[in-house]
Chain A
């Protein structure tokens, strides 16, 4: 890190690396930059030519965003709201349930603990797509098709979350539970009032992960949602992707707006995210 005692050869390597990663970063950011450029470019040009280099240098206007905020946006804001509701509720529910399960798997001794952990790993390996058709008939029978609850159900106790919290909780001091008992706390009280505060970094990391998963979830909502009014954002945006490209005004400005909540979520929790990945991923 410190360049004070680098040899001249090392300095050259260092400069080379910085140039290389600047190019890589530019490639990584290019599509995102392009999206913003496209959202500020005339839809007619995009429709005819796709995204051209010239568009990066022409005068930008906010016409697409004006359309997005006008009555012509149709269901767009409804989809946005649906996604906010579904993701918000899912983050809260899944953090609550998976942390509870992971906590118990890490810190209690009880019969069947091993089996349950093996089951968690097993579900992690079975592709959701295989369970999708029976779940879909189940939703039909329970009349949950086209409902918020139907969209959320498969993610409420996400095995990835259980696994993650279990790994994290293995590192918590068990002695605190004992002192909680001495002080007359209920077992749930120990979890909620003593241990949960210690788990805050893992809650933050999981909030990002679950937020990403539910905000960007596509296949299941596509299957279970029927009416345009109930679509989540990815499903709604996908309906704008028609072969005729007649919704570009909405598509690009709408896509830019779609990234904003997830960026806010990420910026808010990011300090914990990398630490969380370390404790959850590597020990696996």
Chain B
């Protein structure tokens, strides 16, 4: 039918590229292709290339694997450890708690949901820099700063938040959790819209308790989002830089706030050692790749769902 219409009515016009059904999609996707070649593929290849080079102003030299040999040093392992701890905490907090919140917010027993949703979402509108600024003030070093007042009220000593390894990690995780909680709640709420009411009614008839209903009806429906969020949170966690930067700028005592991307920035941009920076980047990519595959495997994303 399509052909017949075209054949009679638009025979002349078909010569013009503006009317061509064949050419149009290629014109439409051309921005992506150009951007892919120029801003993804080319930089990706040159990142790999760069990682084998010593890049100095005006001269580059291939130095084999020595950038990679240099990567595995104590500073890198500190950064890797910090980043990994951060990833573990943020993944646990930002996949499970929003799920619980969303299930409650979706329950017929709660009112004012629009207000609660908006309140939880508002932190996502702030930039890390703005949010971090205020976190630094609330968790100030002085005894009089708000968080320390609370801590002392509970009978503990005031804390120098930014200067201890554990508390520094707490600040970074808290900042990220605070900012992303509402977004993840929205994702789960969206997924919960797909659960049909009939299933709950059927479960009620079978005499299922709340936990059984969650396990057998609710969770299967939101599992795709659970997998999506845990993957995204992991990847974003390994890419973390800003949460650390806002608390420590570029140097923290004993590198307690150093992340892998922070290390790339420090070596590649600040010290202008781009070959080394690129090598760290490649190692980071490998880590993310392996972790993501393992994670997707463990969460069963590769299994065929019988949906």
For residues 52 through 100 of chain A, which have their beta carbon under 8 Å from a beta carbon of chain B? Answer: 52-54, 97-98, 100
Q: Are B6 and A281 in contact (CB under 8 A)?
A: no
Tally of contact residues, A, Cβ under 8 A: 96
Among B10, B33, B137, the residue within 8 A (CB) of A51 is: B137
Min CB–CB distance B88 → chain A (angstroms): 18
B77 within 8 A of A: no
Min CB–CB distance A34 → chain B (angstroms): 5
Q: How far is the CA of A237 from the CA of B127 in the complex (A)?
A: 11
Min CB–CB distance B303 → chain A (angstroms): 17
Q: How far is the CA of A30 from the CA of B182 in the complex (A)?
A: 14
B215 within 8 A of A: no
B28 within 8 A of A: yes
Q: Are A50 and B39 in contact (CB under 8 A)?
A: no
Q: How far is the CA of A104 from the CA of B193 in the complex (A)?
A: 28
Q: Are B142 and A238 in contact (CB under 8 A)?
A: no
Closest to B117 in A: A274
Q: Are B124 and A38 in contact (CB under 8 A)?
A: no
Q: Are A130 and B145 in contact (CB under 8 A)?
A: no
Q: How far is the CA of A131 from the CA of B139 in the complex (A)?
A: 34
Among B22, B127, B228, the residue within 8 A (CB) of A218 is: B127
Q: Are A218 and B238 in contact (CB under 8 A)?
A: no
Q: Are A50 and B137 in contact (CB under 8 A)?
A: yes
B212 within 8 A of A: no
Q: How far is the CA of A278 from the CA of B186 in the complex (A)?
A: 9
Among A24, A110, A131, the residue within 8 A (CB) of B39 is: A131
Q: Are B125 and A135 in contact (CB under 8 A)?
A: no
Among B29, B43, B190, the residue within 8 A (CB) of A134 is: B43
Among A237, A238, A263, A274, the residue within 8 A (CB) of B125 is: A263
> Given A50-B138, A50-B141, A103-B28 in contact, is the A129-B264 Cβ separation under 8 Å?
yes
B24 within 8 A of A: yes
Q: How far is the CA of A215 from the CA of B127 in the complex (A)?
A: 8
Among B33, B35, B43, the residue within 8 A (CB) of A138 is: B43
- Write out the residue numbers on chain B whose beta carbons fall within 8 Å of the beta carbon of A28: 119-120, 122-123, 178, 181-182
Min CB–CB distance B188 → chain A (angstroms): 10
Min CB–CB distance B285 → chain A (angstroms): 5
Q: How far is the CA of A186 from the CA of B140 in the complex (A)?
A: 62
Q: How far is the CA of A186 from the CA of B249 in the complex (A)?
A: 53
Closest to B130 in A: A255
Q: Are A21 and B126 in contact (CB under 8 A)?
A: no
Stretch at the interface among B44-52, B68-76, B165-173, B197-205: B44-52
B134 within 8 A of A: yes
Q: Are B285 and A51 in contact (CB under 8 A)?
A: no
Q: How far is the CA of A263 from the CA of B125 in the complex (A)?
A: 7
The 18 listed contacts between A and B (C-beta, < 8 Å) are A1-B108, A21-B101, A34-B137, A48-B142, A97-B35, A108-B21, A109-B25, A116-B32, A127-B285, A131-B47, A157-B39, A178-B5, A182-B9, A188-B27, A219-B242, A262-B126, A281-B225, A284-B224
Other than the given A28-B178, A282-B187, 8 more pairs (CB < 8 A) read A28-B123, A119-B36, A129-B264, A133-B269, A134-B46, A238-B129, A277-B190, A281-B228
6 residue pairs, one from A and one from B, having the closest CB atoms: A50-B140, A50-B145, A104-B28, A187-B24, A25-B119, A216-B127
